Structure 1
């Protein structure tokens, strides 16, 4: 199976440059924030979001080099993503992320909240300096969406009446909005026709939803070594995802266990078994595959190139994580 990094071959040197620039962008004025940023940007993330921006930038106008504005867009995308992770980890009280201690477990909650705020503020400043009002609006919307997704997730804890539609909306806010709107921004910066700009947005939206659904499947099927947390962590914290929502349709008794927040001794174990016995995981796989297929369809009008091929392969890669 091709690793995600080999998918990024067409933009490998662009990603190296991005990694160097990110640390510089945060600046060394605040030693503790700089330490937090170094810690974050050095934590070996897959850099999937900026890679998509860079691949789309190359695919949109093959044969031309990526402009400084496209590069800055990729950096801003990773900054927004990283800021959201810092805040997510504080909200979720996670002690590890990618096997590395989280910012708040290394530096304390106060610094983690400030580091997340600082990264959002920095990304907004660099965004404004792109001097493209339309792109500013698209990525400002993302920052609002991230907060909206986190709020929805908090409000809907242990709510077994949650619909698949509401789950997909929250997944859009939390994951797909950033990929969709940064993809759309590539089209805007590349001055593509409106119809193609919309297709880049749809590529990012479907890919982002597939990603989130796959992550939610892995929460039940991945090993603790890979996930860095025990199976069913989302369910235990009351975050009901696609596999659980589908399982609820087949096993109404599951809602009793969820609504009482696994208060009895065997409740959680029983709930996990009901999810595994149901077709919830299979139906979630089909849902993810459907979104990955729709993402790939959105690339048809881009001219053939190595970058376009990598973007097609990205849709396959998402699904291979659960095959």
Structure 2
């Protein structure tokens, strides 16, 4: 499998600048927030979201250099994503994320929530300073969507009645909205046509959905070491994802196990076996491939370039994570 970072060759230098800028953007007004920023932004990560913003910026600017506003948009995108992870980890009571201790595990829930709030506030301030009302509207909507997705997920725990459509809607709010709206925002800052801006939005939307579906499949097919959390942990927490929803159509007893919230010994293991024994994982793979294909079709609006090709490769890389 191709490492994610090798896909970002056209914006490698841009991402190095972004990494340096992120820590400076948070500032040094409080030592705890500084330490949190060092931990969050120093932990690395694939930086897929800002890389997509930078690749789209380069794909539409072509021979011209990207503007400082494009760079700032990429930084804002990563700040919003990071803030949402801080809050998610508190809500999910996760002590590890991809093998690294979460913020709340060493500063406590109260400070972690405030650190997440601070990052959201900082990103909003820098967003306002882009002086582009349309872009402000798009990214403000993302922050609302992230909260809506988290609430929706919290209210639907262990609910075997939720549909694939509801699951995709929640996945849009939690994952795809940020990629979709920041992709469109990059186009607007580059003054593309309204039609091209919509194609960029739909590229991000379908790519984001494909990424979430693949992540949800990996919760059943990967290893604890790779995931940085126990296999099946989403299911144990009552978050019913695509593989589970498809499996429920074939395995009626799975509903019994979920409704009693895996209260009896061996319930979770039995549920995992039923999912593995169903078409749930295969149908989820097909759903992810469907959205990846739709994403790449929307890129036809951009002229050929190295950055354009990298955006196509990201969709392919996402699917390759399953194999």
After TM superposition, the score normalised by the length of structure 2 is 0.99
Asked whether the equivalents of residues 44 and 98 of structure 1 are also in contact (C-alpha less than 8 Å), the reply is no
Q: What is the DSSP-based 3-state SS (H/G/I as helix, E as strand, rest coil) of the residue aligned with 2:249?
A: helix
Tell me the equivalent position of 1:232.
232
Tell me the equivalent position of 2:21.
21
Deviation readout 1:186-228 (Å, 9 max, x if unpaired): 1111110111000000000000000000000000011110101
1:80 aligns with 2:104: no
Structure 1: stretches of 5+ with no match in the other structure: none
The 5 Å alignment of 1:41-190 reads 41-190=41-190
Asked whether the equivalents of residues 213 and 288 of structure 1 are also in contact (C-alpha less than 8 Å), the reply is yes
Tell me the equivalent position of 1:202.
202
- How many residues align structurally? 323
**Partners of 1:273 and 1:97 in 2: how far apart?**
25
The list of structure 1 runs, each at least 4 consecutive aligned residues, that deviate by more than 2 angstroms after superposition, is: none
Deviation readout 1:84-106 (Å, 9 max, x if unpaired): 00000000111111211110001
After TM superposition, the score normalised by the length of structure 1 is 0.99
Shift of 1:64: 1.1
Structure 2: stretches of 5+ with no match in the other structure: none
Shift of 1:107: 1.1
Q: What is the DSSP-based 3-state SS (H/G/I as helix, E as strand, rest coil) of the residue aligned with 1:8?
A: helix
1:275 aligns with 2:275: yes
Q: What is the DSSP-based 3-state SS (H/G/I as helix, E as strand, rest coil) of the residue aligned with 2:300?
A: coil
RMSD: 0.6
Asked whether the equivalents of residues 210 and 291 of structure 1 are also in contact (C-alpha less than 8 Å), the reply is yes
Asked whether the equivalents of residues 43 and 98 of structure 1 are also in contact (C-alpha less than 8 Å), the reply is no
**Partners of 2:98 and 2:253 in 1: how far apart?**
35
1:38 aligns with 2:38: yes
**Partners of 2:183 and 2:282 in 1: how far apart?**
29
